[in-house]
Structure 1
Amino acid sequence: MFSSRKRLKGRTSHSNCYYSVTLCCENRVPIFANYLYAVDAAKAIYHLEDKVETICFVLMPDHLHWIFQLRPQQNLSAVIKLYKSMVTMSIRKRKGRKVVVWQNNFYDHQIRDENDLIHQARYIVANPLRAKLVKHVGDYPFWNCIWL
């Protein structure tokens, strides 16, 4: 796992590169099973379009899979920190009290080539099917992919 505080020595993020990231809820609590919290988390992705170009995402009840391309002069850890903060603040506002939403760290994979990108996107989009949340991808409300 890599985070803004614990990135491997010598490991950096690069603008214009594609990344597949997974953000998990604290203790894998399914906080996004709450529809309004999930709406807030999905909307926050689109509020970051000045920092990343989203290729696809799936917001599961207890985690987020997200593939994006960092825009110029952007840093992976800073983008993730901002996203987590935005979602946490919106949920705290709805709940009216402090709540911990996210695990401190996140998983990331720098996409190597077009085949890797397609493989990662297919895996992400099919996540609700594998979890048996829906029978058809189109029935799941919290996902998007630029190719579909």
Structure 2
Amino acid sequence: MPTKRRVWFPGCMYHITARGNHQEDIFKSIADFNMYLRMMKECLNYYEDCSYEVISYCLMKNHVHILVRAGKKEIGGFIRRLHSMYAMYFNSKYDSTGHLYQGRYYSEVIMDVGQLMEVSRYIHLNPVRAKIVKLPQQYKFSSYNMYIGNEEENIVDTSMILGYFPEEEKAEKKKERYRYFVEKAMEVS
């Protein structure tokens, strides 16, 4: 039976998740996390004409979350390339064979601004809710520190999410508001 085609239209946004096969780790070292991020950047460059945008991400030991906007083409080629490259790297490095990922990656279409903001917050709070860190800015392998101004933007473009805060505010104020938006949810978790 063929796999069901994913919903796509120009500018469609997705919350992508992919988990290690049998929930096993897909990142075993800091070098692995960094390699995945380098490969993500390479894939963005490779598909530059397609206008893909990574809005936010979080890499956990056994799974990944990527919030991405598909530009001129559906997202499948981008994710397939990224995950194929990383699986080949991982299998070669760890002398492993077989599937690295548990089945086809999952994608949820983002339908409105409220869902977009909530998914971005969910992604950035993932390491906190997994009790890996107490605060999201303590986790190195997410885009959160780029959103709050602790790191220079790399791979992600924060302007879409931060653009939903009042226009008249300066960039630093928008970053403070985003931080409050994300960290306020920790109080009710």
Q: In which range does the TM-score fall when normalised by the shorter chain? A: 0.7 to 0.9
Whether the 8 Å contact between 1:56 and 1:143 is mirrored in structure 2 is yes
Query: Unaligned regions of 5+ residues in structure 2, if any?
Result: 149-189
Give, in whole Å, the separation in 2 of the partners of 1:17 and 1:133: 32
Whether the 8 Å contact between 1:40 and 1:91 is mirrored in structure 2 is no
Following superposition, the deviation at residue 99 of structure 1 comes to 4.9
Give, in whole Å, the separation in 2 of the partners of 1:36 and 1:95: 13
Distance 1:15 1:86, change over 3 A: farther
Give the number of the structure whose residues are more often helix, by fraction.
2
- The amino acid of 1:136's aligned partner reads L
Q: Which has the larger radius of gyration?
A: 2
Give, in whole Å, the separation in 2 of the partners of 1:117 and 1:36: 30
Q: Which position in structure 1 is the counterpart of 2:65?
A: 65
Q: Which position in structure 2 is the counterpart of 1:54?
A: 54
1:28 lines up with 2:27 in the alignment: no
Q: Which position in structure 1 is the counterpart of 2:97?
A: 98
TM-score, with length taken from structure 1: 0.84
Write the deviation string for residues 85-106 of structure 1: whole angstroms up to 9, x where unpaired.
Answer: 0111222332345353111212
Query: Secondary structure at 1:71's aligned position in 2?
Result: coil
Give, in whole Å, the separation in 2 of the partners of 1:133 and 1:101: 23
Query: Secondary structure at 1:47's aligned position in 2?
Result: helix
RMSD in angstroms over aligned alpha carbons? 1.9
Give, in whole Å, the separation in 2 of the partners of 1:77 and 1:104: 14
Whether the 8 Å contact between 1:125 and 1:137 is mirrored in structure 2 is yes
TM-score, with length taken from structure 2: 0.67
- Equivalent pairs, count: 141
Give the number of the structure whose residues are more often strand, by fraction.
1
Greater Cα offset, 33-42 or 133-142: 33-42
Map 1:1-148 onto structure 2 (within 5 A): 6-7=3-4, 11-49=6-44, 50=48, 51=50, 52-72=52-72, 74-145=73-144, 147-148=147-148
Write the deviation string for residues 71-115 of structure 1: whole angstroms up to 9, x where unpaired.
Answer: 21x222222211110111222332345353111212111111111
